[in-house]
Chain A
C-alpha cells in the first residue's frame, strides 16, 4: 500500500503544470517605436499567467515570450491587452524551445554593454 501511495504521488507530481515544458511565442506587434513602448508591452505580457520571460525588439516589431506550454496566449486575449496599451497585435508563431535564456546568457558573456557614450559614436548602418 505504501509503495502504491508513493507511486501515485510521483505520477501526480509528474503530471502537474510545474513540470510543463517552456515554449517560445514570437508576437508581431505594430506601433512600438520607443524604449517606453518596449517597457510597457513587456510589463503587460509579463503579468500573464505562465509567462516566464519577455523581450521586445523594436527593429523587428517582434516580442519574444517564453511561457510554459499551458499558458493561455490566445489571439483575442493578446489583441485586447496590447490594444489597451496602445499597440496593435498582428500575429504569433510558436517554437518548441525558448531561446531567450540562451540569448541573454550569450549576451552577458560575449557582449559587454557598450555604455551610453560608446553608443553615441557608433556608425549608422
Chain B
C-alpha cells in the first residue's frame, strides 16, 4: 500500500466514527474555530485531493496532490486551547514530458487560541478569539517543505445557534527564509456558514444534525524572494468557495466539501490553483 492509499484509508477510517464523546459544528476549511472546552481533546482527520493543470508555452503542466492532515487540540482551560496539525503529502508533478513526485511529512503547524470574548444566550453563543502559530520546517527542504519557520496570527469569530452558525477568520502569515529562499508573506480572510437542514425541532437524543455548509476564502500573497530577488512568477490573489455537508452527532462528525477556485490571479507563469476535495471527520474525548 503506497502513501496515497494510506491517506485515503485514514480518511475513511475517520468517517466510521464511534471513538469519542462528541463534536460541534465548525468550518471544514480551517481549524482555528474548532470548539474545545477545559481538559477536552479533539482529533480531526482530513484528506485533501487537489488537481491543477494548465498549459504554459505549449507545455502541459499538471499537479496531483494528496494530503492527510491530522489536527489535534487540547483545551488547557476554558479560554486557552492549543493545537497541532500534522500533514502528510504525496504529490505528482508533470511538466511536458518530465515528471517528478515527492511524499512524506510536510511542514507541521502548531498554534494556540485564546478566547477574548464570549456571550451565551438560550440556544446560541458568540465567541471571539485571537490565535498565533508557527509553521515548523519538518518537511524535506525543496520537496515537501520550504525549510523555513513561519509565524502567523489573527482573529476568529464564531456565532452559533441551533439552526445557523457562522465563523469568520482573518490571518496574516510572515514567512521566514531558508537557504536564501523566502516565500512571500500572505494575508487571508475566511468565512463559513452552516445551516441545519434536518428536523430543526427534533430532540438531539434521536438524531444528529445535518448542515449544509458554504465556505469562502481569499488569499493575497506577496512575491517569493530568492537571494533578495523577487520571483515574478509567484504571489498574487486567489479565492475559493467551498460548498459542503456536515453531519454532527453526539459522538462524532463527518464532513465533506469541494474547494473551488473562483479567483485565480497568481503572477506570471505560476501554476494556478485547482479544485480540492476534502473528506473529514472529528472526535472529541
Measured CB to CB, the residues of A under 8 A from B are 28, 30-40, 43, 55-59, 61, 83-88, 111, 113-116, 119-120, 122, 124-125
A33 and B161 contacting across the interface, CB-CB below 8 Å: yes
8 A-B pairs within 8 Å (CB atoms) are namely A30-B122, A33-B160, A36-B250, A37-B24, A39-B22, A40-B21, A86-B118, A125-B201
Is chain B's binding surface mostly helix, strand, loop or mixed? loop
Is B92 interfacial (CB-CB < 8 Å)? no
Contact with A along B225-266 (1 / 0, CB 8 A): 000000000000000000000011111010000000000000
Q: A33-B123, A59-B162, A125-B201 are in contact. List 4 more A-B contacts (CB 8 A).
A: A35-B250, A39-B22, A84-B37, A119-B202
A55 to B35, CA, bound (A): 21
Contact with A along B121-132 (1 / 0, CB 8 A): 111110000000
Closest B residue to A38 using CB positions: B204
Closest A residue to B123 using CB positions: A61
A122 and B198 contacting across the interface, CB-CB below 8 Å: yes
Interface stretch (choices B59-67, B138-146, B169-177, B207-215): B207-215
Interface size counted on chain B using CB atoms at 8 A = 44
A11 to B262, CA, bound (A): 78
A125 to B202, CA, bound (A): 10
* CB contact list, B181-237 vs A, under 8 A: 197-210
Q: Which residues of A have CB within 8 Å of B204?
A: 35, 38, 56-58
Q: Which residues of A have CB within 8 Å of B102?
A: none
B199 and A36 contacting across the interface, CB-CB below 8 Å: no
Closest B residue to A34 using CB positions: B24
A33 and B205 contacting across the interface, CB-CB below 8 Å: no
A61 to B25, CA, bound (A): 17
B209 and A35 contacting across the interface, CB-CB below 8 Å: yes
Q: Which residues of A have CB within 8 Å of B251?
A: 39
A33 and B203 contacting across the interface, CB-CB below 8 Å: no
Measured CB to CB, the residues of B under 8 A from A are 21-25, 35, 37-40, 77-78, 118, 120-125, 160-162, 165, 197-210, 247-251, 253, 284
A31-B120, A31-B124, A34-B209 known; A120 and B198 CB under 8 Å? yes
Q: Which residues of B have CB within 8 Å of A125?
A: 200-201
Q: Which residues of A have CB within 8 Å of B199?
A: 114, 119, 122
Q: Which residues of A have CB within 8 Å of B205?
A: 38, 55
Closest B residue to A33 using CB positions: B160
Q: Which residues of A have CB within 8 Å of B197?
A: 120
A34-B160, A36-B248, A84-B78 known; A59 and B123 CB under 8 Å? yes
Q: Which residues of B have CB within 8 Å of A83?
A: 78
B37 and A86 contacting across the interface, CB-CB below 8 Å: yes
B125 and A33 contacting across the interface, CB-CB below 8 Å: yes
Q: Which residues of A have CB within 8 Å of B201?
A: 59, 125
Q: Which residues of B have CB within 8 Å of A85?
A: 37-38, 78
A38 to B250, CA, bound (A): 7
User: Nearest Cβ distance between residue B122 and chain A, in whole angstroms?
Assistant: 4
A35 and B122 contacting across the interface, CB-CB below 8 Å: no
A43-B21, A84-B37 known; A30 and B121 CB under 8 Å? yes
Q: Which residues of A have CB within 8 Å of B200?
A: 124-125
B202 and A31 contacting across the interface, CB-CB below 8 Å: no
Q: Which residues of A have CB within 8 Å of B118?
A: 86
Q: Which residues of B have CB within 8 Å of A114?
A: 199, 202, 206-207
A122 and B202 contacting across the interface, CB-CB below 8 Å: yes
B22 and A36 contacting across the interface, CB-CB below 8 Å: yes
A35 to B205, CA, bound (A): 8
Q: Which residues of B have CB within 8 Å of A115?
A: 207
